[in-house]
Structures are given as C-alpha cells and as structure tokens.
Amino acid sequence: MKKMVGLILVGLLAMATSSFAAGDKIGFVDLQKALNFSQAGKAAKETISKKVKDYEGTIEGKKSELQKLKDELEKQAVLLSEQARAEKERDYQQKLKDFQRFTKDIQEELQRSDADYTRQILEKVLKLIAEMGKAQGYTVILEKSESSLLYADDQIDLTDAVIKAYDEQYKKGGN
C-alpha cells in the first residue's frame, strides 16, 4: 500500500512538473529592491529624510527648553515655598508630557508618510509588473522575498527591468 501511494505521488509530481515546465515563462521581482532603487523610491526617502531633519531641530529645541526648566527647578527647589515648588513641578511635568506626545505624533506621522509613499509606489509597480508579464508572455512572476524562493537563476530576475520601466514612467510624470 505504501509503495502504491509513493508511486502515485511520484507520478503526480512528474506530471505537474512536466505540464508546468512545458513552455511556461517564470520570472521574479525583488520588490524591496524596486522600492529602494527606483527614482520614486529614492525621492520618497529623500522627502522623509528632510522631514526627519526638520523635526530633529524642533525636538532638540524643545528638549533643551525642558532641560533648562528642570535645571531651574532643581536650583530653586530649596528657595521656593512648598506651593511654588509644586506648581513648577506640575508645569515641568505637563511640558514633559506635551513633549512626549509631540515626539510620538511626529513618529506616527513619519511612519504614515513612509507607508503612504510605499503603498503608492507599490501599487504602480505591481500594475507595471502585471502589464510587463502579459506583454512578455509570463505565466508566473513571483516576489523574491515573500514567495519562499530559495533559488532562481538571475536570468529570470525582472527587477532591474521593472525599475527601468518604472523610472521611465516616473520621468514622464506618471509617478
């Protein structure tokens, strides 16, 4: 019985392999590479990097303001009345909370921007891949990093062709 099941499995595997390999065209694309090396991907990274630098300046200013407030509170702690010290402490704690909320909001905004850029680029790249696949007669185009692709000959790597085609669209204003 075990031999029979084994023979059936081998036969099915052989049939599946031969029917799939009979002239079917297979390719793969590294979407992460397409995101990182396309002109749109580079422009998105640059835009986000500029935002980060702008926010870093603002954050540093607020951070030094908080540090001054804390230093002032520590210096005056013995000179201030209990009520005045408690009021300054509350003021400092409120500004600290505001600062933490501000930095969290910035971080979320940057993550949202990154996700939006990535989504927009990927939508266009995936559409382009489908068009290229149909035009060039591909049966299957896999994503390199998510398809459990353990090995593939570089000859079927379409990533550079996709980047080139996408960059041409991007130059023409097709984003």
pLDDT digits (tens, 9 = 90+) for 74-129: 888 788 888 988 898 999 999 999 999 999 999 999 999 999 999 999 999 999 99
pLDDT of residue 153: 78
Residue 11 has pLDDT above 60, yes or no: no
Q: Which residues of 125-160 are buried (b: 16+ CB within 10 A; e: fewer)?
A: bbebbeebbeeeebeebbebeeeeeeeeeeeebbbe
Any residues with CB less than 8 A from the CB of 34 and at least 6 apart, and which? Answer: 41, 125, 159, 162, 163, 166
Helix locations, the chain, DSSP H? 2-21, 31-37, 39-76, 82-135, 159-169
Q: Which of the two residues, 148 and 47, has the higher pLDDT score?
A: 47
Summarised one tens digit per residue, pLDDT across range 39-82 is: 999 999 999 999 999 999 999 999 999 999 899 888 887 888 88
Residue 14 has pLDDT above 60, yes or no: no
Full-prediction pTM beyond 0.95? no
Q: Which of the two residues, 116 and 155, has the higher pLDDT score?
A: 116
pLDDT of residue 174: 63
* Mean pLDDT score, 144-162: 79
Residue 172 has pLDDT above 80, yes or no: yes
pLDDT of residue 16: 45
* 40, 166 Cβ separation under 8 angstroms: yes
